[in-house]
Structure 1
Amino acid sequence: MAHKYLVDLTEEERGYLLDVIRKGKTTARRVARAHVLLRAAEGATDEEIAETLRLGRSTVHRPRQRFVDDGLTAALSEPSRSGSPPALTGKQAAFLIALACSTPPAGRHRWTLKLLADRLVELRQIDMISPDTVGRVLKKTTSNRGNAKNGVFPVSVPTTSGLWRRSWTCTPNPTIPGIPQCVLTKAPCS
């Protein structure tokens, strides 16, 4: 079967692709694309390349097409992805967290994700939000909706130094988020 996108490599391009494969200092996807282009230059069909390299046919076809249309750099690189904007802004997420830590509505022992989503819409913080999105936002923090004393603070990251550590035992309440409280462990804690 004749291909619309025929890969014709120069010696310089072939050498560059072999370097990409040999050095191993790049992503596996980039190495796979280099293999695809080399095999395509040898005259292999998309089906043969896909079977040999254990790739999908579209994974084989796209680098070949990008090479012919845009050149070697475009064929090896990954096209940018648009992504979707975050469901909540920072202010809205902070409001949600504060709401989750507040006292639940009358007749309820605790907030549910549906109640939180409905309250955000009711208070006109956002036009529409699903309980699943509320759960994902809350999961990014260490919050305990059942205990108001705990509050909400970012997940603590272990220190890389053996001499320093976070001192939560010396403070009766959690400290302000974003302000690390560290002490030298050789000095006694009062």
Structure 2
Amino acid sequence: MGSQKKRPVVLTARDREELVRVTTTGVHPASVIRRARVLLALDTSAGGIGSQEVIAARLGVSGETLRLVAKRFAETGGDVHATIARKKRDLPPVPSPVTGEVEARLIAMACSQPPQGYTRWSLRLLEKHVALVEDIPDLDHSTIGRVLKKRNCVLT
């Protein structure tokens, strides 16, 4: 941390007003309020600021939080809203392989007669048979169990 360059936070009067408004009025997520308070505390436009340790103790955050908020402020080019708001995900969420059709086929298989030599379906046995069916994606036994539990299907 000693080799990193300090990033001064310089806020305009309008930015300060907006941050004060966020911290004192309305309903905002706690993380947004915390980052807004950190920006206000790190603002050097009103004069000198205290040491990182004093600011962190006063705000009840870690020194790392101070560093990350200042870094994000610099990365966003001084955009206060982008700094205090939640970051957008880099990657989109992965869609579930279990669609309605897959669910229906899985439930139908679980409700059918078990293969010869077995008295009932088990999750592991269903997993093996799902792997053999070509148009159903390979599912883990725990995923199969969640699907069946969600639909209140009991293996008998």
Range into which the TM-score falls when normalised by the shorter chain: 0.7 to 0.9
**1:76 paired residue among 77, 84, 89:** 84
- Note the C-alpha offset of 1:126: 4.1
Match of 1:100 in 2: 110
Deviation at 1:24, TM superposition (A): 4.3
Residues in 1 aligned to 2:60 and 2:100: alpha-carbon distance in whole angstroms: 43
Partner of 2:19: 17
Alignment of 1:140-151 (within 5 A): 140-146=150-156
C-alpha root-mean-square deviation of aligned residues, in Å? 2.7
Which protein has the bigger helix share? Answer: 2
Deviation, 1:56, is 4.9
Q: State the 1:12 CA deviation.
A: 1.1
Q: Which runs of 5+ in 2 are unaligned?
A: none
Instruction: Give yes or no for contact 1:87–1:133 (8 Å, CA) kept in 2.
Output: no
Once the two structures are superposed, what CA deviation does each residue of 1:55-77 show, in whole Å capped at 9, x if it has no partner? 45554433322222211111111
Give the aligned residue type for 2:73.
F
**Following superposition of structure 1 onto structure 2, how do residues 46-125 of structure 1 map, counting pairs within 5 Å?**
48-70=54-76, 71-81=79-89, 82=91, 83-125=93-135
How much has 1:142 moved relative to structure 2?
Answer: 2.3
Q: Retained in 2: the 8 A contact 1:46–1:60? A: yes
Give the distance between the partners of 2:59 and 2:70, measured in 1 at CA.
15
- 2:123 & 2:62 partners in 1: Cα distance? 40
| Gap change, CA 1:46 and 1:110, over 3 Å in 2 | farther
Retained in 2: the 8 A contact 1:121–1:127? Answer: yes
For residues 67 and 61 of structure 2, what CA distance do their matches in structure 1 show?
10
What is the identity percentage for the equivalent residue pairs of Structure 1 and Structure 2?
34
Q: Distance in 1 between matches of 2:52 and 2:112?
A: 59
- Correspondences of 1:28-47 after superposition (within 5 Å): 28-41=30-43, 43=49
**Which consecutive residues of structure 1, in runs of 5 or more, have no partner in the other structure?**
147-190
Q: Do the aligned partners of residues 18 and 39 (structure 1) sit closer, same or farther apart at CA in structure 2, a change above 3 Å counting?
A: same
Task: Please say which of residues 14-23 and 95-104 is displaced more in the overlay.
Answer: 95-104
Q: Partner residue of 1:184?
A: none
SS in 2 for 1:29: helix
